[in-house]
């Protein structure tokens, strides 16, 4: 392996100590880095041109035939580091790791903190998420948004971290190509969207909600999905143009946040 530049066998190595901290959100923010695992995500990262810093391969995986095949296809400048199995276990997030641990710089141009009522612009179809706390749900929504061509996923400041390992795993590479914007003031953001020509709908089970199937979804449309337990906050609901609900059989419980978002995004895609 010509590109292997280092071998680390000590769990007390300074770089390993640094990487083991990337499981902490505050440290990810300070360092401007995030990490993810697995061959699939490694390949997706290369396809999307992620600014990888290093890829750590365990002793068990160092002779995996996928590694030279992957590297021969892409000419990227990052370090390949072989680590002992014990070292890999220290940094890994997985119960059954594949032995591939990737470190990347944060994607500032793709995933950013926006205060859009100060002038930032968005495109045609948006998903707005309020208080989505489960990283798996967030990752699933981002993956679905990528599949259905959503231009940007806007997140309230209390949503789960997009660089949480569970979010990245659930997104299955879609995070590397999907625009997200985290906003400080969601109500102000929605009002600014409306003033710039967007029609903003809030997903809510309410007697005055319009059925999703009755909507004519045009360009410059945004849908708001609320917290998994309590839905959209009353303050946010007051800021939308209209409340909307997904048609379901009588007596059916509401869909979870990721499922509801998927149905809505399919309708947006179908009406393009």
pLDDT-based confidence at 119, cuts 50/70/90?
A: very low
Greater pLDDT, 166 or 76: 166
Mean pLDDT, all residues of the chain: 91
pTM over 0.75: yes
Indicate left, alpha or beta for 21 from its phi (over 0: left) and psi (-120 to 50: alpha). Answer: alpha
Please write down the HEC assignment for all residues of 163-180: CCHHHHHHHCCHHHCCCE
What is the pLDDT at residue 61?
93
Give yes or no for residue 21 having a pLDDT over 90: yes
First to last CA, the chain: 48
Q: How far apart are CA 150 and CA 166, in angstroms?
A: 21
Domains annotated on the chain, with CATH: 4-105 (3.30.1330.30), 111-270 (3.40.1280.10)
- Asked if 127 and 154 count as a contact pair (C-beta separation under 8 A), the reply is yes
pLDDT tens digits for range 184-206? 999 999 999 999 999 999 999 88
Give yes or no for residue 219 having a pLDDT over 80: yes
Give yes or no for residue 67 having a pLDDT over 60: yes
Residue 42: C-alpha distances to residues 82, 91, 265 (Å) = 15, 16, 27
What is the pLDDT at residue 10?
95
Q: What is the rounded average pLDDT of the residues 116-136?
A: 82
Percent of the chain at pLDDT > 70 equals 93
Give yes or no for residue 252 having a pLDDT over 90: no
Q: What is the rounded average pLDDT of the residues 86-110?
A: 93
Name 260's bridge partners. none
Q: How far apart are CA 245 and CA 209, in angstroms?
A: 6
What is the pLDDT at residue 253?
74
- Asked if 124 and 150 count as a contact pair (C-beta separation under 8 A), the reply is no
Q: How far apart are CA 39 and CA 67, in angstroms?
A: 9
Q: DSSP for 133-159, please give it.
A: --HHHHHHHHHHHHHTT-SEEEEETTS
Q: What is the rounded average pLDDT of the residues 243-247?
A: 94
Give yes or no for residue 77 having a pLDDT over 90: no
Percent of the chain at pLDDT > 90 equals 77
3-state secondary structure of 114: strand
pLDDT-based confidence at 269, cuts 50/70/90?
A: very high
| Residue 157 burial (CB count, 10 A) | 12
Residue 22: C-alpha distances to residues 1, 33, 166, 209, 234 (Å) = 27, 7, 13, 43, 35
Q: What is the rounded average pLDDT of the residues 122-131?
A: 92
What is the pLDDT at residue 230?
93
């Amino acid at each position: 392996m010509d590109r292997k530049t280092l071998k680390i066998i000590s769990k007390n190595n300074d770089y390993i100590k640094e990487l083991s901290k990337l499981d902490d959100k505050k440290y990810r923010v300070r360092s401007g880095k995030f990490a993810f695992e697995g061959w699939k995500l490694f390949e997706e990262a290369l396809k999307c041109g992620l600014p990888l810093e290093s890829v750590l391969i365990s002793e068990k995986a160092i002779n995996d035939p996928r590694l030279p095949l992957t590297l021969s296809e892409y000419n990227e400048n990052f370090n390949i580091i072989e680590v002992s199995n014990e070292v890999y276990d220290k940094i890994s997030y997985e119960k059954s790791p594949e032995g591939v641990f990737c470190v990347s710089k944060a994607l500032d141009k793709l995933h950013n903190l926006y205060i859009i009522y100060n002038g930032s612009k968005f495109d045609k179809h948006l998903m707005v998420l309020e208080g989505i706390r489960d990283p798996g749900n967030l990752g699933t929504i981002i993956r679905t948004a990528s599949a259905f061509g959503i231009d940007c996923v806007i997140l309230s400041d209390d949503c789960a971290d997009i660089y949480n390992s569970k979010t990245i795993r659930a997104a299955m590479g879609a995070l590397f190509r999907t625009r997200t914007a985290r906003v400080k003031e969601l109500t102000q953001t929605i009002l600014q969207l409306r003033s710039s020509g967007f029609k903003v709908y809030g997903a809510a089970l309410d007697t005055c909600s319009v059925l999703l199937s009755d909507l004519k979804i045009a360009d410059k449309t945004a849908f708001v999905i609320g917290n998994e337990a309590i839905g959209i906050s009353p303050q946010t609901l007051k800021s939308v143009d209209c409340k909307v609900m997904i048609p379901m059989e009588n007596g059916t419980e509401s869909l979870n946040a990721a499922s509801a978002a998927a149905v809505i995004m399919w309708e947006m895609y179908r009406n393009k």
